[in-house]
Amino acid sequence: MRNRRIVQLIFFVSSIYLGFMFVRFLNAVKSGNFDVTKPGGVEAFLPISALAALKRFIATGNYDWVHPAGLSLFIIFIVISFLFRRSFCGYVCPVGFVSELVSLIGRGKRVNRYVGYVLSVLKYGLFAFFAYIILFSMPVSAIEGFLNSPYNKLADAKMLEFFVSPGVSTMVFVVAMITFTLIFKGFWCKFLCPYGVFHSVIAAFSPFVIKRNADACVNCMKCTEACPMSIQVHESKLVLNPDCIGCHDCVAVRQNEKCLQTCGKDIKAKYLPFAVFGITVVLIAAAIAFGLWQSRVPSSEYAFWLSKLEQLSH
């Protein structure tokens, strides 16, 4: 569990660092310095654009050169969530990391099962909406238009504006989420995050499944208590719950080496975070090496649209 926190912290600090580097980039192009390079990692916060770009890439073979790092990271996150069962949420996501930290100091209560079903409609509904619009409703020509629109080219700047200059409604929402997470364990991730639903769909095909051996189980319930998503691990034969984030915290606290195992084998939970981290870093390095990272939007064009940021909308 400690190793997972270390990996989460590394990705969280990296996200903060990228934010500062992006602010420096914006200030530079605003002042007329077009020799600076935009940090590609900030495009990880543009999953809707990346999903649209992925559909076009599959349909036409054309990569997204507006936000190539965004598409590359989107594919990388799909890979690790398949390999390690939604591990993007359990190891990489900075919002998930903060949510878990808030839950650690909170009361850790569980939402009533039926109330949880009602709340989950929101995240599944949002996911279904975006999936339908992008994957089924929008033709490739419309996606082409969106990806090359001024709004999409400045989507990362728009996202930064959302974080650094939130409106009253945004602040109310954030405070509400923190409050609910202090009371109910993993509230945002479990009930409201549509991006988590996407990764749970990918994870459904993952071979990385935790199995519980009822004969070896002593019903200590440590596994359920450790689960950041409040899954009833001690009652499961296979942990196939879509909320499972592949964190293996349950395996880390198991009473014996046979009660909980991954894929029927004794895979050490303490090594898993480094596997997720290593594969993610290697794939990012490969994307950079193969030229699938740096945006081809000229800094001068970016600066032009940046001056009209407040006028740009969907």
Whether the per-residue pLDDT at 274 is higher than 70: the answer is yes
Classify each residue of 264-292 as buried b or exposed e, where b means 16 or more C-beta atoms within 10 Å of its C-beta: eeeeebeebbebbbebbeebbeebeeeeb
Considering only 103-112, 129-138, 215-224, 275-284, which range has the smallest mean pLDDT? Answer: 103-112
What is the per-residue pLDDT for 4?
92
Average pLDDT value over all residues in the chain: 91
Paired residues of 238 in beta bridges: 211
Average pLDDT over residues 12-17: 96
Report the domain count for the chain.
1
What is the per-residue pLDDT for 263?
79
167 token code pair: 């409106």
Look at the pTM and tell me if it is higher than 0.85. Answer: yes
62 token code pair: 């054309």
Q: Where do runs of H (alpha helix) occur along the chain?
A: 2-30, 47-60, 68-83, 87, 94-105, 113-131, 140-147, 150-153, 155-164, 168-183, 187-191, 194-203, 222-226, 249-252, 272-289, 299-306
Q: Count CA atoms closer than 13 A to 310's CA, side-chain side.
A: 2
Average pLDDT over residues 77-97: 93
Give the model confidence (pLDDT) of 217-227 as tens digits. Answer: 999 999 999 99
Average pLDDT over residues 129-136: 93
Q: Report DSSP letters for 159-226, one per residue.
A: HHHHHHS--HHHHHHHHHHHHHHHHBTTHHHHHT-HHHHHHHHHHTT-S--EEE-TTT-----HHHHH
Considering only 12-21, 57-66, 70-79, 211-220, which range has the smallest mean pLDDT? Answer: 211-220
What is the per-residue pLDDT for 71?
98
Give the rounded percent of residues in the chain with a pLDDT score beyond 90.
Answer: 67
2 token code pair: 């400690």
Average pLDDT over residues 67-76: 97
Q: How far apart are CA 146 and CA 129, in angstroms?
A: 17
Give the model confidence (pLDDT) of 146-179 as tens digits. Answer: 999 999 999 999 888 888 888 888 899 889 999 9
Query: For residue 137, what are the contacts with CB-CB under 8 A and spacing of at least 6?
Result: none
9 token code pair: 């912290």
* Spacing of C-alpha 98 from chain mean position: 12
What is the end-to-end Cα distance of the chain in Å, rounded? 42
Average pLDDT over residues 304-310: 87
Which residue range(s) make up the domain with 92? 2-311
Give the DSSP letter of residue 73: H
Q: How far apart are CA 272 and CA 270, in angstroms?
A: 6
For residues 197 and 51, the answer to whether their CB atoms sit within 8 Å is no
* Spacing of C-alpha 246 from chain mean position: 13
